[in-house]
Amino acid sequence: MTPPVAVGIVARPDSERAHALAVELASDIDGEAVVSFDERTATAIDRPGRPIEQLDECDLVVCLGGDGTVLHVVGAVGSTPVVGVDFGAVGHLAAVEPTDARATIQHLVRQCRRGTLEPTTRHRLVARGDGWTLGPALNEVLLQGPRRGPAGGVELAVDVDGATCTETTAEGVIVATPTGSTAYNLSDGGPIVDPVVDAICLTPISDRRRTPAIVVRDEATITASVDGPETALVIADGTDRQELDLPTTVTLERAGEPARLVDTRAPLADAVETLR
């Protein structure tokens, strides 16, 4: 007899609609799957819960929320396949509409049982410095001065595999994955990159030399030398932060463990469509 599929469900904490759908999904797949809720979702719907990090033992994790919730879940469960149901403002990472969620999740559970689920590999980034590590980041790592604005600039020298690609004064630089190319990277003039391309985007922020964004291979080692009168910040996926004393050097590379997202729409077409 085929063992039941293990499914984790995480709902956006401030969304009653997401909580209600979590209950419906659990009922829909009862008998086909063993369902676990993260602790916050479990408290909201009065069910038993587990630490979110333990959901990495599941065959599939269903995330009911926006892109921020998906980033949080991916950061907790590593390479466990994650499918996002969109309860946010912009759903680049949450590919399933709430109205389609019940049928879609039942279909994905059946794929898990048959061994035919095919999540997309999404490479992530890790940043390292003197005694610290941040990441892995699914969207981007931001290296910036102590504050945004003209008074918050830093001196930057960015090398790719040992070759200097820019030396400038700027508010900072965004090092983005293709998955994150439609987030802060795009807002600061960076390119949209197909999420299935193996690449890294380097996008200067308010660069005084107007250095254009560049795209490099994702196996490259990126080294940023940073100097200035104050401190600097490294921020991974908008949440994890490391303050830097200057001068210093930050190394950025592709993380060893990728994320795996279940895409129900073509990733590039979806990214472009949500921007219209």
Catalytic residues: 67
Cβ-proximal residues to 36 (8 Å cutoff; 6+ apart), any chain: 6, 7, 8, 9, 49, 50, 54, 55, 58
Computed over its alpha carbons, how large is the radius of gyration of the chain? 20
Annotated binding site for NAD(+): 67-68, 72, 139-140, 182-187
Short-list 19, 176, 30, CA closest to 98 = 19
Residues contributing to the annotated binding site? 67-68, 72, 139-140, 182-187
Query: Measured between alpha carbons, how far is 164 from 224 in angstroms, rounded to an integer?
Result: 10
Amino acid at 23: V
Neighbours of 161 (CB within 10 A): 12
Tell me if 70 sits within 8 A of 95, measured CB to CB: no
Tell me the β-bridge partners of 82.
61, 261
Closest-CA residue to 154 (of 167, 139, 137, 138):
167
What does each C-alpha distance from 245 to 43, 111, 190, 242 come to in angstroms? 41, 50, 27, 10
Phi, psi of 251 (to 5 degrees): -110, 130
Please give the C-alpha separations between residue 171 and each of 58, 142, 156, 164, 227, in angstroms, as whole numbers.
41, 10, 9, 19, 12
